[in-house]
């Protein structure tokens, strides 16, 4: 009979606790939970205690027991003092209100309140819950047993105590593990709900990003048809997304670029390349086209087969138009720049040949010369940097030198005056940019066969005299524009009947593995090989080496100066001039 009633109590416990768990779905009970949650736990467990009194377990014909004290233990374990007291008070009120009252029932109620206070105080001890339950249950069992002995004072009290203890242990353990299961299920439910909310929020954010991003995000199937396009597709092409889906991609590609995309697509479908990036044109709804940067990578299905592509289309139409406009402007600037550079001078005593090879559309290396037929001054400059900015500075300095060389031919005086100009022009208080220039200035006088020069931090030029002697043009001073009062000292030498000078900028170093020593040796070999030819033959040999360079990272300027008589005939010289022009 006892076991039958115990089974009924366990069923009541199971049903009630599962229903009670609904009230803590999102707010779990805990010792540090808000007081409202702990009061709620005490109220619900108090109600359970009253129901368990209804289903009391008869252990003798006159004595019944129940699991109300186990309920108080659960309240103390999960809610501390507040929950234990609330549940004990509710059970006490229910016991005295709905059932027979006598001295024993009042005493039992007092004992239960005492157990609630005691266990509520012990709840603060840091211990895991299952150990806390076993401890609290082990405390309340002898207290209840002592009350039975005090109330009955009969020999069968020991048997009753053993029976009630067994009921408390069995029923309490089942109740604890059921409640643990319910609370763990609630915790997993909360995690699932949080994950769902996070996923929804993340999905909404991703959708918002995809819908508002300026680039087209696309996906194609294995047959090359659109399967996904974001709204940016309509903004760029004018075609609606709905009408474009399931349509072949090739229909939207400019005919001249279709073959390019086909070859790239074959590389993706065959998994020969992981991704592609191309610049091509796509057709728009109004019959025009726009330039896009097409980035795509291959997709694979569950069986690792090709399933199509995914990627982005970035509208680069404005960039391409700007590049085209800039290319036209740079080409015009290049023509203007090169038009001011002298190419060739041929006289009875002097022959000068110059050449500029820019690394980009414009160059920062410049040269100019001035001659009266018997005496000439040649200056070669290299402005720091490349392209547009350096070319503008070079053009400015070239204009300045054009006038300066008309009334000044002393290399030291020219370099000093040029240094003043560069320093004052680019070192003002309002200008934070620093511009530096290297230069090599040479004055050759055929009347007294004298060469004077100044080198301002520039690669040294090389002179070859008719005696076969090589002269380095390395004397001078520091780079222009650093110190306004810098001193520049000229070097000089004399030659016999003939002299050839080659001046160059540091871009020539790259032709010979970036090593100045190799460059000097190469120039000497060229000058020696062309000793009996004109300066055009020197330029031709150097140009052959330069053209062999696959990439030219720096500007190159060359000036070859001949003093004396040519070995070539006038007809050959005329042929050289025509070829150069």
> What's the mean pLDDT when you consider all of the chain?
84
Residue with tokens 């190799």: 518
Measured between alpha carbons, how far is 430 from 294 in angstroms, rounded to an integer?
45
Q: How far is CA 56 from CA 16, 49, 75, 499, 569, in A?
A: 16, 10, 20, 129, 135
Going by C-alpha positions, the residue among 385, 377, 329 that lies closest to residue 350 is: 377
Q: 68-98 and 35-54 are packed helices; what angle lies between their axes, rounded to 10 degrees? A: 70
Q: What is the CATH number of the domain that holds 85?
A: 1.10.1760.20
> Cα–Cα distance between 570 and 561 in angstroms, integer?
18
b or e along 389-422 (b: 16 or more beta carbons within 10 Å of the residue's beta carbon)?
ebbebbbbbbebbeebbeebbebbebbbebbebb
Of 80-89, 329-338, 560-569, the range with the highest mean pLDDT is: 80-89
On whether residue 94 sits in a domain, the answer given is: yes
Residue that wins the pLDDT comparison between 335 and 463: 463
More confident residue, 570 or 92: 92
Q: How many domains does the chain have?
A: 3
What's the pLDDT score for residue 387?
61
Which candidate, 39, 109, 27, 34, places its Cα nearest to that of 68?
109
* 139-143: Cβ within 8 A, 24+ apart: 139/115, 140/69, 140/70, 140/72, 140/73, 140/115, 140/168, 141/165, 141/168, 141/169, 143/111, 143/114, 143/115
Q: Quote the pLDDT of residue 43.
A: 93
Q: Is residue 325 part of a domain?
A: no
What does the H/E/C string look like for 369-402?
Answer: EEECCCEEEEEEEEECCCHHHHHHHHHHHHHHHH
Any idea what the CATH number is for the domain that residue 285 is in? Answer: 3.30.450.20
Q: What are phi and psi of 311, to 5 degrees?
A: 175, -160
User: Against a cut of 0.85, is the pTM above it?
Assistant: no
Residue 324 lies in a domain: no
Indicate if 110 and 8 belong to the same structural domain: yes
Using CA atoms, how far apart are residues 473 and 460, in angstroms rounded to an integer?
Answer: 5
Please state, in angstroms and rounded to a whole number, the distance separating the CA atoms of residues 346 and 577: 9
Q: Tokens at residue 40, please?
A: 């709620």
Q: Are residues 482 and 540 located together in one domain of the fold? A: yes
476: helix, coil or strand?
A: strand
| Averaged pLDDT, 199-227 | 79
Query: Within 13 Å of residue 482, how many CA atoms lie on the same side as its CB?
Result: 12
204, part of any domain: no
SS3 of residue 559 by DSSP: strand
Give the pLDDT confidence of 522-568 residue by residue, as tens digits.
999 999 988 888 888 999 899 888 888 877 777 888 999 999 864 54
Cα–Cα distance between 342 and 338 in angstroms, integer? 8
- What stretch of H or E contains 492? strand 491-494
Say if residues 558 and 352 touch (Cβ distance below 8 Å).
Answer: no
Whether the pLDDT of residue 165 is over 90: the answer is no
The answer to whether residues 225 and 185 belong to one domain is: no
Query: Hey, how many other C-beta atoms are within 10 angstroms of the C-beta on 74?
Result: 29
- Can you tell me whether residue 431 is helix, strand or coil? coil
Asked if residue 377 is part of any domain, the answer here is yes
Task: Clarify whether residues 243 and 375 are in a common domain.
Answer: no
Helices (H), 474-531: 516-529
328 has pLDDT over 70: yes
Which stretch of 41-50, 127-136, 152-161 has the lowest confidence by average pLDDT?
152-161
Looking at the fold, whether 150 and 235 belong to one and the same domain comes out as: no
Same domain as 309, residue 373: no
**What are φ and ψ of residue 41, in 5° steps?**
-60, -45
Cβ–Cβ under 8 Å, residues 239 and 233: yes
C-alpha distance across the termini of the chain, in Å? 124
Which pairing describes strands 476-477 and 450-456: parallel, antiparallel, or unpaired?
Answer: parallel
What pLDDT is stored for residue 207 in this prediction? Answer: 67
In a domain, 332, yes or no: no
CATH of the domain at 451: 3.60.40.10
d(CA 278, CA 98): 86
Task: Give the CA radius of gyration of the chain.
Answer: 50
Share of the chain above pLDDT 90, in %: 31
Q: How far is CA 9 from the centre of its chain?
A: 64
Q: When comparing pLDDT for 162 and 172, which is higher?
A: 172
- Shared-domain flag, residues 515 and 398: yes
Residue 383 Cα distances to 197, 256, 345, angstroms = 62, 42, 24
Quote the pLDDT of residue 578. 43
Angstrom CA distances, 357 to 38, 178, 219, stand at 87, 88, 47
Q: Would the pLDDT of 575 be above 50? A: no
What pLDDT is recorded for position 142? 80
Structural contact between residues 168 and 133, judged by C-beta atoms closer than 8 angstroms:
no
The CA-based dihedral angle spanning residues 475, 481, 482, 484, taken in that order and rounded to the nearest 10 degrees: 90
Predicted local confidence at residue 572, as pLDDT: 46
Q: For 301-340, give the secondary structure using H, E and C.
A: CCCCCEEEEEEEEEECHHHHHHHHHHHHHHHHHHHHHHHC
- How do residues 184-208 score in pLDDT, each as one tens digit? 998 888 888 888 877 777 666 666 6
Which band of pLDDT confidence, cut at 50, 70 and 90, is reported for residue 347? confident
Residue 322: inside a domain, yes or no? no
Of residues 13 and 416, more confidence is placed in 416
Pair (379, 260) in one structural domain: no
Burial class of residue 105 (count of CB atoms within 10 Å of its CB; 0-12, 13-18, 19+):
middle
Residues 405 and 484 in one domain: yes
The pLDDT tens digits for 6-45 are: 788 788 888 888 889 889 888 889 888 899 999 999 999 9
Query: Partners of 299 in the beta sheet?
Result: 308
Q: What whole-number percentage of the chain has pLDDT above 70? A: 88
**Alpha carbons 510 and 496: distance in angstroms, whole number:** 34
Task: Please report which residue ranges of 213-292 form alpha helices under DSSP H.
Answer: 232-237, 241-244, 255-269
Q: Is the pLDDT of residue 265 over 80?
A: no
Q: Which of residues 82 and 6 earns the better pLDDT score?
A: 82
pLDDT digits (tens, 9 = 90+) for 380-394: 999 886 667 777 888
Neighbours of 71 (CB within 10 A): 31
Residues in the chain: 581
Can you tell me the mean pLDDT for 271-290? 89
pLDDT score at 270: 78
What is the domain range of residue 171?
A: 2-191
Give pLDDT tens digits for 454-508: 999 999 999 999 888 999 999 999 999 888 899 999 999 999 888 999 999 988 9
Q: Does the residue 464 lie in any domain?
A: yes
pLDDT, residue 6, reads: 75
Asked if 25 contacts 186 with a C-beta cutoff of 8 angstroms, the reply is yes
Is residue 305 located within the same domain as residue 450? no
CA distance 167 to 213: 68
Burial of 301 (0-12, 13-18, 19+ CB in 10 A): exposed
Q: Which residues pair with 226 in a beta bridge?
A: 220
Do 364 and 255 lie in a common domain? Answer: no
The values of phi and psi at residue 379, to 5°, are -135, 135
| Residue 185 and residue 229 in one domain | no
pLDDT at residue 120 greater than cutoff 90:
no
According to DSSP, the residues that pair with 306 across neighbouring strands are 300
């Amino acid at each position: 009979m006892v076991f039958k009633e115990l089974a009924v109590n366990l069923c009541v416990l199971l049903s009630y606790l599962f229903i009670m768990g609904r009230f803590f779905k999102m707010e779990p009970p805990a010792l540090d939970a808000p007081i409202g949650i702990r009061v709620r736990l005490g109220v619900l467990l108090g109600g359970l205690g009253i129901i368990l009194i209804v289903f009391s377990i008869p252990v003798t014909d006159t004595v019944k027991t129940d699991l109300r004290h186990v309920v108080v233990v659960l309240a103390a374990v999960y809610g501390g003092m507040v929950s234990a007291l609330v549940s004990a008070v509710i059970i006490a009120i229910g016991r005295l209100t709905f059932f027979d009252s006598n001295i024993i029932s009042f005493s039992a109620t007092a004992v239960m309140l005492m157990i609630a206070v005691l266990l509520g105080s012990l709840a603060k001890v840091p211990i895991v819950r299952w150990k806390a339950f076993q401890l609290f249950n082990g405390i309340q069992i002898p207290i209840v047993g002592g009350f039975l002995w005090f109330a009955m004072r009969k020999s069968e009290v020991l048997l009753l105590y053993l029976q009630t203890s067994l009921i408390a242990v069995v029923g309490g353990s089942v109740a604890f593990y059921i409640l643990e299961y319910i609370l763990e299920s609630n915790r997993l439910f909360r995690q699932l709900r949080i994950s769902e909310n996070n996923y929804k929020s993340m999905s909404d954010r991703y959708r918002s990003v995809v819908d508002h991003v300026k680039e087209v995000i696309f996906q194609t199937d294995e047959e090359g048809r659109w399967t996904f396009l974001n709204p940016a597709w309509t903004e760029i092409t004018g075609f609606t997304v709905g009408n474009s889906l399931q349509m072949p991609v090739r229909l939207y590609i400019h005919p001249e670029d279709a073959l390019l995309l086909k070859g790239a697509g074959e590389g993706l479908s065959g998994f020969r390349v992981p991704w592609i990036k191309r610049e091509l044109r796509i057709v728009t709804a109004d019959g025009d086209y726009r330039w896009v940067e097409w980035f795509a990578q291959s997709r694979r299905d569950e069986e690792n087969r090709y399933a199509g592509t995914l990627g982005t289309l970035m509208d680069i139409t404005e960039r391409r138009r700007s590049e085209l406009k800039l290319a036209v402007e740079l080409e015009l600037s290049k023509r203007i720049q090169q038009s001011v550079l002298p190419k060739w001078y041929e006289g009875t005593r002097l022959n000068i040949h110059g050449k500029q090879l820019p690394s980009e559309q414009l160059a920062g290396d410049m040269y100019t010369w001035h001659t009266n037929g018997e005496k000439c001054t040649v200056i070669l400059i290299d402005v720091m940097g490349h392209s547009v900015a350096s070319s503008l500075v070079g053009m400015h300095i070239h204009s300045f030198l054009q006038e300066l060389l008309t009334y000044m031919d002393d290399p030291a005086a020219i370099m000093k005056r040029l240094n003043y100009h560069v320093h004052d022009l680019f070192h003002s208080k309002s200008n934070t940019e620093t511009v530096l220039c290297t230069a090599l200035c040479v004055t050759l006088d055929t009347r007294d066969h004298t060469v004077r020069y100044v080198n301002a931090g520039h690669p040294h030029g090389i002179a070859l005299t008719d005696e076969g002697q090589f002269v380095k043009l390395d004397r001078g001073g520091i780079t222009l524009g650093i110190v306004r009062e810098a001193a520049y000292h000229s070097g000089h030498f004399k030659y016999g009947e003939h002299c050839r000078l080659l001046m160059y900028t540091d871009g020539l170093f790259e032709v010979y593995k970036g090593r100045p020593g190799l460059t000097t040796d190469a120039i000497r070999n060229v000058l020696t090989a062309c000793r009996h030819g004109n300066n055009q033959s020197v330029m031709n040999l150097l140009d052959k080496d330069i053209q062999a360079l696959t990439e030219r990272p720096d500007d190159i300027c060359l000036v070859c100066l001949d003093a004396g008589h040519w070995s070539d005939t006038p007809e050959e010289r005329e042929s050289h001039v025509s070829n150069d022009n």
